[in-house]
Chains A and B, each alone.
Chain A
Amino acid sequence: MIQHLLHINHVSKHFGGNVAVSDISFSVDEKQIFGLIGPNGAGKTTLFNCISGFYPVTSGDIIFDNKTINNLRPDEVCHMGMARTWQRVKPLGSLTVLENVMIGAFSITSATREAEEIAIEQLGPVGLTDYAQKTAGSLSIGLKKKLELARVLATHPKMLLLDEICGGLNHTETETILGIIREVRNKGATIIFIEHDMKAVTAICDWIVVLNSGEKLAEGTPEEITENPEVIAAYLGGGHNA
């Protein structure tokens, strides 16, 4: 059997009678950059919330690193080596950029000095070094997205869940972020990537799963997905223009 880092096994999530995610299964291999795409309301973020421990699943299993993590709290999931970013950014507004990233680093060290060193290391690649002493709340949206990325990287995760990390960024900023993601993967991390920007997704992902109305519509390589008629219909013909 192939070693999967993450295995989603028939996962469903209902809110009352509303089915947000319905019987989804897929596996993510180590060191993969894995794309999760779909129109608005397809259930991508809901699935992220289930995987990262914020929502309990209604049925099914989520297996990470050979352990079932369905019933773990978000902080326990983080300590297992899975870190997530937020589509609607959540900066710790009155703390400085450096302190924000230090809080991520505290999940792997208890020493303030060491957390600071790890945090400073993470600021460079995302281009936030000059902003280290600014309060996080004062940053622009683009910089806040970069802060989200630096903060989760400071937890030294095995797996990164990135929820529209490029949303609202311009072309150059997107390129920077994609570059960082590739580099993180080359260092051994696995990445799941939710994105609307098809260009970004096809440029970077090894494997893509398409969700539509809470169900899995298709999966395959970027080439297979872009040529799949059902996917094209969901994106262009279903009235959910992305």
Chain B
Amino acid sequence: MKQITIIAFIAGFAALLPLAIGENPYFIGVLISVLMMAALSSAWNILGGYAGQYSFGHAAYFGAGAYTTMILISRFNINPLVSMVAGIIVACIIALITGSIVFRLRGHYFGLASIAVAEIVRLSALNFDFTGGAQGILLSDVSLWGLDLNSKLPFYYGMLLVLVITLGITLNLRKSKTGYYLQAIREDQDAAASLGINLSFYKNKALLISAALTSVLGSLYAVYIRFIDTTAVLDLRLSIEIILTAIIGGVGTLWGPVLGAVLLVPLAEMLRSNVLGDVLVKQGIVSENSGLGVFLKENLAHAHVLVYGIITVLCILYMPKGILGLFRRKK
């Protein structure tokens, strides 16, 4: 089956999913998180997976979209879609400044610089007044085309649309000159340059595409939650979750990041809401009043970062190409 058919099929399935499970806000909320992480990780994958340039600071572009949108809507009452476009522009400016300086260098400099830039953006947002400082920005009311933005559904379909667009771009890129050039850069930069590839131009191109998509997701997220602060949208933890999702699913593959998100986000959610602990107790595997039961009840909710870490270590040891890599035919 052609990949484009698979994308259409899965998108269609996802579009009908809310009808099937009814308007349970909790489940829709989890699904929105899955779609968002799948899209974020896929956008990161264009730069990290295909061009081999690992960004550890994608939160900067997510935050740029989120903050720009929130400031424009809450202070100037600007249309959310226009604010989203403004967010893309801000994210691209940050990306261009970073890329044009750092992509001249080889090696790990881009990874290091991406963390530095993300921290600069975070600290700026924390300390400037117009970004709301440590208090963040709260959005009391927002409207677009008469949609019910108090419902989660518009955001579910918004995230789904961005995910489909991201996958479409990736698919199109893979079989194009740019996509091949990015993979050549990932494999060997000297060979790439000697075959006529302008290294910094193509790295910047990948970064811009990736940053623009990430910022759109930031804008969507901000309007969905209606509250942002630096911990929510600019934290290093977010950048790392994006990378881990891609690594565990399969870096440099079309479906790896999606698979990673489908597995990891619900897992994290289950740990966070202590579903796992409750199940263990209800099944009678662990007694609620035993030492272990009390321990699990108190601590399992905080363990999702630990579980991420363990899964990552296992992944790197036993399947360095991610879960999808296990199923790929060896040529």
Contact = CB atoms under 8 A, between A and B. Distances in A.
B61 to A, nearest CB: 27
Given A75-B199, A92-B188, A133-B331, A106 B194 contact: no
Contact of B184 (A95, A134, A152): A95
Most chain A CB atoms below 10 A, which of B193, B198, B199: B193
Interface in B163-221: 175-177, 180-181, 183-184, 187-188, 190-199
B187 to A, nearest CB: 4
Contacts of B197: 75, 103, 107
Contacts of A75: 193-199
Contacts, number: 87
Contacts of B188: 90-93
B194 A103 contact: no
Interface string B139-183: 000000000000000000000000000000000000111001101
A102 B190 contact: no
B193 A103 contact: no
Contacts of A103: 180-181, 184, 192, 195, 197
Interface string B69-104: 000000000000000000000000000000000000
A37 B331 CA distance: 38
A208 B191 CA distance: 27
Nearest to A133: B331
Given A78-B194, A83-B195, A138 B331 contact: yes
Nearest to A109: B177
Interface string A68-86: 0000011110110001101
A83 to B, nearest CB: 7
A110 B331 contact: no
B194 A92 contact: no
A94 interface: yes
Most buried by A among B176, B188, B193, B195: B195
A73 B177 contact: no
Nearest to A52: B194
Contacts of B176: 112
B250 to A, nearest CB: 13
Nearest to A97: B331
A93 B184 CA distance: 9
Nearest to B200: A73
Chain B binding surface SS class? helix
Nearest to A115: B177
A134 B331 contact: yes
Residue picked from A75, A76, A94, most chain B C-beta under 10 Å: A75
A94 B187 contact: yes
A232 to B, nearest CB: 34
A96 B187 CA distance: 12
Contacts of B181: 103, 106
A155 B81 CA distance: 44
A13 interface: no
B180 A102 contact: yes
A155 B180 CA distance: 15
Contacts of B195: 75, 78, 83, 103-104, 106-107, 151-152, 155
Nearest to A102: B180
A134 B331 CA distance: 6
Given A106-B177, A112-B175, A135-B331, A86 B196 contact: no
A54 interface: yes
A128 to B, nearest CB: 14
A92 B187 contact: yes
Contacts of B190: 54, 74, 86, 90
Interface string B242-258: 00000000000000000
Contacts of B331: 96, 133-135, 138
A112 B174 CA distance: 10
Contact of A84 (B184, B194, B199): B194
B191 A99 contact: no
Tell me which of B181, B187, B190, B194 has the highest count of chain A C-beta atoms within 10 A of its own C-beta. B194
A5 B315 CA distance: 54
B122 to A, nearest CB: 35
B194 A112 contact: no
A78 B184 CA distance: 15
Contacts of B192: 92, 103
A218 B198 CA distance: 37
Interface of B: 175-177, 180-181, 183-184, 187-188, 190-199, 331
7 closest residue pairs by CB, A with B: A107-B196, A78-B196, A90-B191, A92-B187, A74-B193, A90-B188, A75-B198
26 contacts: A54-B190, A74-B194, A75-B199, A76-B198, A86-B190, A90-B194, A91-B187, A92-B187, A92-B192, A93-B188, A94-B183, A95-B184, A103-B192, A103-B197, A104-B195, A104-B196, A106-B177, A106-B180, A106-B195, A106-B196, A107-B195, A107-B196, A134-B331, A135-B331, A138-B331, A151-B195
